[in-house]
Amino acid sequence: MSGNDDIATIMALLRQYFATDTSVGARVKFVYKGGGTVTLDGTRQPPEVHDRDEPADCISKLDIRDHLKILRGELNQQDAFRAGRLFLSGDVHAGARYSFMLEHVLKGERAGE
């Protein structure tokens, strides 16, 4: 896949996973090594996912292939962070809320259930 195809896939997965849930309550931006960004704006109802490079509460920097693996449940976010493959800046609490919700989505659950 090309970088643009990967970004389109990531945006589709995030839209699917966070279609109606606004409990992130923040903007989380993913910045990819080699270029490109995707933002999950959890302050909107429904949450908005886009590829515009805009300010965010929490910024995650990682390889685009690693993000795809995380979203497909093939790579654990905490393992990626500990291995230095994922870097966070800004409001890490917003990043933690996103991480918690994604884990529940990947397990087929809703946060808070």
**Which tens digit of pLDDT belongs to each residue from 46-55?**
899 999 999 9
pLDDT confidence of 112, banded at 50, 70, 90?
very low
Joined tokens for residue 99 = 């991480």
Residue 89 near residue 62, CB atoms below 8 Å: no
What is the predicted pLDDT for the residue at 10?
96
pLDDT(75) > 60 = yes
What is the predicted pLDDT for the residue at 18?
87
Question: Of 31, 26, 8, nearest to 86 (Cα)?
Answer: 31
Average pLDDT over residues 76-100: 93
Spatial CB neighbours of 50, under 8 Å, sequence gap ≥ 6: 11, 38, 39, 41
CATH architecture, domain 3-106: 2-Layer Sandwich (3.30)
Q: Alpha-carbon distance 32 to 12, whole Å?
A: 17
Each residue of 4-55: pLDDT tens digit?
A: 899 999 999 999 988 876 678 899 999 999 899 999 999 988 899 999 999 9
Say which residue, 42 or 1, is predicted with more confidence.
Answer: 42
Residue type, position 44, single letter: R
Q: Where are the domains positioned within the chain?
A: 3-106
Q: Alpha-carbon distance 88 to 60, whole Å?
A: 5
pLDDT(110) > 50 = no
